[in-house]
Chains A and B, each alone.
Chain A
């Protein structure tokens, strides 16, 4: 480890917070997907950092599995975004409120 674990955790928390802000603030479906990407990447940074800290390879395997899951999530999510855009001609999240009570 070249830096203390705490600094790495702080960096990952900042990245996670920015991704969360992207999910909460933006009204665009693709931007929400991008925010989820940032959050997943910050988690991956923590996993690789812990893997380097404890000198194990397990965290990196977890990041590899995480990348496969992310690829699946993005493929399905973008297919859904295209489908919703075909239906409503817009991907503003404010439009998709049919389930509001």
Chain B
């Protein structure tokens, strides 16, 4: 039952991602993108990481999509820019097929061992996923965490400088 639900959500994710590419109006594309992000959040729940699902919804479906839709409506170009599908489609198809070949080759070339680490589903149910993530983030991965904070600060300053420039 759960496996069936996984493939159902996978279908929804692929179809909505396809409509992101296909829709002429950027607003429709953005709303389809929200559907894709929600499907990914469902995958995260099924892969036993509920905290990542919550963060996915808050950060992507919340913050980033609001930013993108805000800019789309601010610029207000409506339907004027239509995709010129002629020369892009061939290149995209070729590159995608190559990518699929590389991925299948990668999957077939070796068997994944599947030897488990300490974070089993029993531990996740017992301790809680948020605590596990927090412990790993603040004990083992402090340096990337701090670097990400500095990066966000630099991004804020950079966005302000770009936005305040006189044309």
In the assembled complex, the Cα of A21 lies from the Cα of B98 at a distance in Å of 13
Number of interface residues of B (CB under 8 A): 86
A2-B46, A16-B99, A41-B40 known; A33 vs B68 contact (CB < 8 Å): yes
Q: Is the interface of B mostly helix, strand, loop or mixed?
A: helix
Count the A-B residue pairs with Cβ separation under 8 angstroms: how many? 224
A-facing residues in B114-157 (Cβ within 8 Å)? 114-120, 132-133, 136-137, 140-141, 144-145, 148-149, 151-152, 154-156
Render A24-67 as a binary contact track against B, CB cut-off 8 A, 1 for contact: 11111011011101100100110011011111111011011101
The 8 Å CB contact of B30, one of A6, A17, A34, A65, is A34
Among B48, B71, B141, the residue within 8 A (CB) of A82 is B71
Residues of A within 8 A of B85 (CB): 25
Given A34-B29, A41-B60, verify A54-B116 contact (CB < 8 Å).
Answer: yes
Interface residues of A (CB under 8 A from B): 1-3, 5-7, 9-11, 13-22, 24-28, 30-31, 33-35, 37-38, 41, 44-45, 48-49, 51-58, 60-61, 63-65, 67-76, 78-83, 85-87, 90-92
